């Protein structure tokens, strides 16, 4: 029986139980064995240092996360062992819900009204229709594509930006760095769903924020590294931005003295936009194992040169 090591730091027992159902002809283990026998498959989130190197006969790393920059940067995945990143229906649904919630809350002034409620202030804001708002989504991949499509379905005027050309129903698409300025120009909402790579670090800086419409709203569900925090804060302070919803940060957990905590115009959430759910993720990972054993390349193998 081939072994699958489930080294999730949270919910390991629940993942293992589901794997035993999905792969009954495999041995599912949750601790690194000391018998020297091969462990071809490792299911990991953020593995403890040395864990992957300790696995004899490792063939495939199944990431519990969609973002794998930490795995690449750790240098601990043995050369030649592919990393399959997490893309599953639960993750997509989660991100679509979270971004839609943030964009609609801002669009319909819900947070502003909650603040006015404290002052018993009956002050209607100018309520716009969705099609009067331009939303630019950075990233048009497994998450950005469905997010952009859903925002378009709600009625927003949506643009999506990616590295290579992508088609998204109802969405104007842009590809390549040379189109970035056009993609974000005049946007009322900027949604970041880019992976953390050398090319996306500090992409959202003051120059980019200044291209947005005055009073724009920034939503970050991708990675904190994309944003130059001091530029975002300065843009909030001077009114170029009216608010931001941030789920991901340079340092997580967000340090207690981080200025984002105290801002009324920033919604901080603790990296929960699209968590990995046992119920939807295990079937996808089991399918990757099956494909691997049929000598097929599983979907969503990370391209180490691209960094995602």
Letters for 38-67 (x = contact with ligand NAP by CB under 6 A, - = none) are ----------------------------xx
* Minimum gap (Å) between residue 97 Cβ and ligand NAP: 11
Tell me the backbone φ, ψ of residue 268, rounded to 5 degrees: -100, 130
CB-based contacts of 256, cutoff 8 Å, min separation 6:
none
| Binds ligand NAP (CB under 6 A): choice among 162, 173, 242, 288 | 162
- Answer yes or no whether residue 195 interacts with ligand NAP by CB under 6 A: yes
Helix (H), strand (E) at residue 220: strand 216-220
Answer for the pair 194, 138: CB distance below 8 angstroms, yes or no: yes
Query: By the 8 A CB rule, do 137 and 148 touch?
Result: yes
Contact range with ligand NAP by CB under 6 A, out of 15-23, 36-44, 121-129, 266-274: 266-274
Q: Please pick, among 20, 108, 271, 277, the residue that the annotation labels catalytic.
A: 271
Report the residue number, 109 or 200, with the smaller CB distance to ligand NAP: 200
- Is residue 189 classed as helix, strand or coil in its secondary structure? strand
Contacts (Cβ under 8 Å, ≥6 apart) of 5: 29, 30, 31, 32, 39, 41, 42, 43, 55
Can 271 be counted among the known catalytic residues? yes
Smallest separation (angstroms) from ligand NAP to the CB of 9: 16
User: Is 164 among the residues that bind ligand NAP (CB under 6 A)?
Assistant: yes
> Residue 253, preceding bond cis, omega within 30 degrees?
yes
Q: Does residue number 101 form part of the binding site for ligand NAP (CB under 6 A)?
A: no
- Comparing CB distances to ligand NAP, the nearer of 11 and 247 is 247
Question: Strand, helix or coil at 104?
Answer: helix
8 Å CB contact between 120 and 143: no
Whether residue 246 contacts residue 268, with contact meaning beta carbons closer than 8 Å, is answered with yes
170 — phi, psi (to 5°)? 75, 10
> Pattern 196-225, binding to ligand NAP, x per CB under 6 A?
xx-xx--------------------xxx--
114 noted as active-site residue: no
Distance of CA 156 to the CA centre of its chain: 21
CB of 76 to ligand NAP, least distance (A): 19
Q: How many Å apart are CA 2 and CA 160, to the nearest integer?
A: 42
Residues 116-155 vs ligand NAP: string with x where CB under 6 A?
-----------------------xxxxxx-----------
Q: What track of x and - describes contact with ligand NAP for positions 270 through 289 (by CB under 6 A)?
A: -x-xx---------------
Cα–Cα distance, 287 to 60 (Å, whole number): 13
Residue nearest to ligand NAP (CB): 141
* Distance separating alpha carbons of residues 265 and 241, to the nearest angstrom: 9
Which residues contact ligand NAP by CB under 6 A? 66-67, 87, 91, 139-144, 162-164, 166, 193-197, 199-200, 221-223, 247-248, 271, 273-274, 308
Give catalytic residue positions: 223, 271
């Amino acid at each position: 029986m081939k072994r699958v090591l489930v080294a999730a730091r949270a919910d390991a027992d629940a993942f293992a139980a589901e794997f035993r159902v999905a792969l009954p002809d495999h041995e599912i283990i949750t601790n690194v064995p000391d018998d020297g026998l091969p462990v071809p498959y490792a299911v990991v989130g953020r593995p403890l240092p040395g864990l992957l190197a300790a696995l004899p006969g490792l063939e495939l790393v199944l990431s519990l996360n969609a973002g794998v920059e930490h795995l690449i940067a750790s240098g601990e995945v043995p050369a030649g062992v592919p990393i399959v990143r997490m893309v599953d229906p639960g993750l997509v649904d989660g991100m679509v819900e979270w971004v839609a919630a943030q964009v609609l809350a801002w669009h319909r002034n819900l947070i502003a009204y909650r603040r006015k409620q404290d002052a018993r202030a009956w002050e209607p804001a100018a309520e716009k229709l969705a099609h009067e708002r331009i939303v630019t989504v950075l990233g048009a991949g497994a998450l950005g594509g469905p997010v952009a499509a859903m925002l378009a379905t709600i009625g927003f005027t949506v643009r999506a930006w990616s590295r290579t050309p992508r088609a998204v129903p109802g969405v104007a698409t842009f590809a390549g760095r040379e189109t970035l300025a056009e993609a974000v120009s005049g946007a009322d909402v900027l949604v970041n769903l880019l992976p953390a790579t050398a090319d996306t670090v500090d992409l959202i800086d003051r120059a980019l924020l200044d291209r947005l419409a005055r009073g724009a709203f920034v939503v970050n569900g991708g990675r904190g590294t994309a944003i130059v925090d001091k530029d975002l804060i300065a843009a909030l302070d001077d009114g170029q931005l009216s608010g931001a919803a941030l789920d991901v940060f340079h340092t997580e957990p967000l340090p207690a003295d981080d200025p984002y905590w105290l801002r009324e115009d920033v919604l901080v959430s603790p990296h929960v936009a699209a968590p990995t759910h046992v119920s939807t993720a295990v079937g996808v990972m089991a399918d990757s194992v099956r494909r691997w054993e049929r000598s097929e390349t599983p979907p969503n193998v990370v391209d180490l040169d691209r960094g995602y």
